Structure 1
Amino acid sequence: MNIGQIGVPVSNLARARDFYTNTLSLPLLFETDTMAFLRCGDLRLMLTLPEKEAFAHASSVLYFHIESIHDAYTRLTKQGVSFVDEPHIVAKIGDTATWMTFFQDTEGNTLALMSEEGWNESDE
């Protein structure tokens, strides 16, 4: 079993679509009056105006795996994204460090950038 799509609730579809396509550079696949579908690697993100109040809450944290967290952090900061922290190491396994930093989309959903990069003790 694989995950094929993740739904992200939004209150303003046009604003959210612009953030995900223009700021995060995710390609728009297609859209309807109440939904926009974007390609994110092998997954499809569905930005959706909630059909019921029960679905009108922030989504789970989406972690975008990227090559260079520092390059993406710099690029997105220049595009007006406000991060809640700076890129930091959250785990070290062998000679690999997992880096993360968190931010919000235009709809209040928490998102994160993550990258796995080489590391050794002399980097500290």
Structure 2
Amino acid sequence: MQTNLIQKVGQIGIPVKNLEKAVHFYKEQLGLPLLFQTGNMAFFECNGLRLMLSLPEKEQFTHASSVLYFQVDDIQSTFEDFKKRDVTFIDEPHLVAKIGQTETWMTFFKDTEENTHAFVSEVQGETVSF
């Protein structure tokens, strides 16, 4: 039996059409630390996970990226804070699952390249009401 060689996701690549606009969004609006920018790429730190923004090298890679789920502690205050930063949300925080006493809440937003991402929060205890 083969053991699993994959330990964790270390980097996620996000194709962009306008690198400077995307760098501004991830740095200024989402508040992620910019590690470095070189050529057609920019790299951000997200608590041990590196995000790479890049201009696609070939036409076949010029599509929207996978959904990134950013873990947050308090989804409602995060939602309110990022709305003030002009992040475009496509819904409001909502309950997506309840397993035992753990509730999973999400809200989805768009970046400057029309990629959809989400904030997710797991809440312990009684139902959260907004």
Shared fold, TM over 0.5: yes
Q: TM-score, normalised by structure 1?
A: 0.95
1:28 corresponding residue in structure 2: 34
Give the structure 1 partner of residue 3 of structure 2.
Answer: none
- In the TM superposition, residue 119 of structure 1 has moved relative to its aligned partner by 3.3
Aligned partner of residue 81 in structure 2, secondary structure? helix
C-alpha offsets along residues 35-59 of structure 1, whole Å, 9 cap, x if unaligned?
0000011110000000000111000
Give unpaired runs (5+ residues) of structure 1.
Answer: none
* Matching residue of 1:69: 75
What's the TM-score once normalised by structure 2's chain length?
Answer: 0.91
| SS of alignment partner, residue 88 of structure 2 | coil
Q: Quick one: percent identity of the two aligned structures?
A: 56
Question: Would the alpha carbon gap of residues 121 and 100 (structure 1) be closer, same or farther in structure 2, given more than 3 Å must change?
Answer: closer
Match of 1:5 in 2: 11
1:104 to 110, 113, 117: 110
RMSD: 1.5
Helix, strand or coil for the counterpart of 2:27? helix
Question: 2 CA distance for matches of 1:57 and 1:86?
Answer: 25
Number of matched pairs: 124
**Structure 1 equivalent of residue 21 of structure 2:** 15
Cα distance in structure 2, aligned partners of 1:3 and 1:68: 24
Determine the C-alpha separation between the residues in 1 that align with 2:126 and 2:100: 8
Moved more, 76-85 or 8-17: 76-85
After TM superposition, the runs of 4+ consecutive aligned structure 1 residues lying more than 6 A away are: none
| Amino acid of the structure 2 residue aligned with 1:68 | D
Unaligned runs of 5+ in 2: 1-5
Amino acid of the residue matched to residue 24 of structure 1? L
* SS in structure 1 at match of 2:89: coil
